[in-house]
Amino acid sequence: MVLPMLRRSRKEAARGGEVVGVEEEVAVPAHFRCPISLELMRDPVTAATGITYDRECLERWLERGHGSCPVTGRPVRMGDLVPNHATRRMIQDWCVANRARGVERVPTPRVPVGEADAEEAIAEGTSEKALAVLDAALCTDAGVESARAHALTVPVLVKKMFRVSDMATDFAVSALWRLCRTSGSGAGSCRAEALRVGAFQKLLLLLQVGCAGVTKERASELLKMLNGSRGSVECIETVDFKGLKRPF
- Supply the CATH number for residue 9's domain: 3.30.40.10
In a domain, 34, yes or no: yes
Q: 67-103: b or e for each residue (b if 16 or more CB lie within 10 Å)?
A: eebbeeeeebebeebebbeebbeebeebbeebeeeeb
Q: What percent of the chain has pLDDT over 90?
A: 14
**Residue 173 pLDDT grade (very low, low, confident, very high; cuts 50, 70, 90):** very high
- Confidence band of 71 (pLDDT split at 50, 70, 90): very high
Number of domains forming the structure of the chain: 2
User: Do 132 and 168 sit in the same domain of this protein?
Assistant: yes
- Whole-number pLDDT of residue 240: 42
What pLDDT was estimated at residue 41?
92
Residue 247 lies in a domain: no
Q: Out of 22-31, 153-162, 222-231, which region has the weakest mean confidence (pLDDT)? A: 22-31
Nearest Cα neighbor of 139 from 161, 160, 167, 112 is 112
For residues 73 and 17, state if they share a domain: yes
Is there a contact between 64 and 43 (Cβ–Cβ < 8 Å)?
no
Task: Please indicate, yes or no, if residue 107 is contained in any of the structural domains.
Answer: no
pLDDT, tens digit (0-9, with 9 covering 90-100), for 221-244: 999 888 876 665 454 444 443 443
Does some domain include residue 110? no
228 with 122, same domain: the answer is yes
Per-residue model confidence as pLDDT tens digits over 91-143: 988 888 888 878 887 776 655 545 555 555 555 545 677 888 888 888 888 88
Distances from the Cα of 8 to the Cα of 26, 97, 102, angstroms: 16, 19, 12
Least confident of 52-66, 136-150, 167-181: 136-150
> Do 129 and 56 belong together in one domain?
no
Residues 11 and 81 in one domain: yes
Q: Is residue 240 part of a domain?
A: no
For the chain, what is the mean pLDDT?
A: 76
Range(s) of the domain holding residue 7? 2-101
- pLDDT for 14 equals 42
**158 and 62 fall within a common domain:** no
User: Residue 200 carries which DSSP code?
Assistant: H
Lowest mean pLDDT among 11-15, 80-84, 234-238: 11-15
